[in-house]
């Protein structure tokens, strides 16, 4: 079984407080975009995991695809072994949630392959155990997110009449480091309120808290954001804790890679 695994962008990201469990309370809107990994899960005599595309460093046992399999196997020991193959297109450390999407896709495929009959709520619970933003990929539609990112409410935001340019600057941002740079606080106006306003108000009000420290450490990223605005973006922002940036443009706008930021890739989504 093969499934395309999408990524997401964040429309605003407020870090509100440090929780007693070590996580952070946040508010954001997750929005799916069309850059995708490819996940294949097939029955096998022995469990195996392989990957192609963008290199995946580190211990294979830490990969969320592998963790997803073992998470379900613990509760469904009758599940057979499988071979999981991941073709990686979504860059890592880029604030796009690619790894979370991949792990969640494995949950979905295993549920289908072994007819586990897991409900959406059960899949959401398993996804939340994988990672804070994993439950979003069960919905895979625009969602307002609170808690540590796992409390989700689908929202009617629709950007299909716009062009989204997604820029990958090739810089890896460590999420743990990024969180250490922040001083969490409750904002005067919620993202839920701002996102309902006309998009031309988002530039001044819809803020990603990670931008200030990440831009300070990596000035190139701020240049890229400013370049997106200079090319006519209605709204531009960094996604997650970085380093990917995106611009929302009038439909059909042609966007060029910023000249001072090569190597880059701009996806018109």
Phi and psi dihedrals of 156, rounded to 5?
-85, 10
Gyration radius of the chain's alpha carbons: 19
- Counting Cα atoms < 13 Å in the Cβ hemisphere of 239 gives 29
Non-local (6+) Cβ contacts of 107 within 8 A are: 68, 71, 72, 123, 126, 127, 130, 138
| β pairing state of 48-53 and 82-88 | parallel
Q: How far apart are alpha carbons 200 and 204 in whole angstroms?
A: 9
Q: Which tokens belong to 31?
A: 């929005």
Parts of the chain belonging to CATH 3.30.70.890: 162-268
Q: Give the whole-angstrom CA distance, residue 204 versus residue 182.
A: 20
Helices and strands in the chain: count of H runs, count of E runs: 9, 10
Please report the pLDDT score of residue 93 as a whole number: 84
Give the Cα-Cα-Cα angle 55, 60, 62 (nearest 5 degrees).
110
Which parts of the chain have pLDDT scores under 50?
A: 261-264
Active site residues: 8, 133
Distances in whole angstroms, Cα of residue 207 to Cα of each of 128, 140, 145, 214, 248: 25, 23, 15, 13, 15
> How is domain 162-268 classified at the CATH fold level?
Alpha-Beta Plaits (3.30.70)
Residues of the chain with CATH 3.30.230.10: 2-154
Q: Using the structure block, give the residue that is written with the tokens 């400013």.
A: 226
Answer yes or no: are the C-beta atoms of 107 and 117 closer than 8 Å: no
Looking at residue 168, its pLDDT comes to: 87
Under DSSP, is residue 52 helix (H, G, I), strand (E, B) or coil? strand
Q: Residue 264 has what pLDDT?
A: 41
- Single pTM value for the model: 0.92
CATH number of 2-154, picked from 3.30.300.30, 3.30.1360.120, 3.30.230.10, 3.40.50.720: 3.30.230.10
Q: What is the pLDDT of residue 58?
A: 85
DSSP track, 104-138: HHHHHHHHHHTT----HHHHHHHHHHH-TTTTHHH
């Amino acid at each position: 079984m093969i499934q395309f695994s999408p990524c997401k962008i964040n429309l605003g990201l407020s870090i509100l407080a440090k929780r007693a469990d070590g996580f952070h309370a946040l508010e954001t809107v997750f929005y799916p975009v069309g850059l995708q990994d490819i996940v294949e899960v097939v029955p096998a005599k022995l469990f195996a995991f392989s990957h192609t595309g963008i290199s995946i460093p580190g211990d294979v046992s830490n990969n969320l695809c592998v963790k997803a399999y073992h998470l379900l196997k613990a509760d469904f020991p009758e599940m057979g072994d499988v071979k999981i193959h991941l073709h990686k297109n979504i860059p890592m450390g880029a604030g796009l949630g690619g790894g979370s999407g991949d792990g969640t896709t494995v949950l979905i495929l295993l549920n289908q392959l072994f007819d586990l009959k897991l409900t959406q709520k059960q899949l959401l619970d398993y996804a939340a155990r994988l990672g804070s933003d994993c439950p979003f990929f069960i919905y895979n539609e625009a969602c307002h997110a609170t808690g540590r990112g796992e409390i989700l409410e689908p929202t009617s935001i629709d950007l299909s009449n716009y062009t989204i340019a997604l820029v990958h600057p090739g810089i890896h941002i460590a999420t743990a480091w990024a969180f250490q740079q922040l001083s969490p606080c409750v904002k005067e106006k919620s993202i839920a309120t701002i996102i309902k306003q006309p998009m031309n108000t988002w530039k001044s009000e819809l803020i990603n808290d990670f931008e200030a420290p990440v831009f300070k450490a990596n000035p190139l990223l701020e240049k890229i954001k400013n370049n997106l605005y200079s090319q006519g973006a209605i709204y531009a922002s960094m996604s997650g804790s970085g380093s990917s940036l995106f611009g929302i443009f009038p439909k059909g706008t042609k966007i060029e890679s910023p000249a001072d930021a090569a190597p880059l890739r701009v996806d018109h989504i």
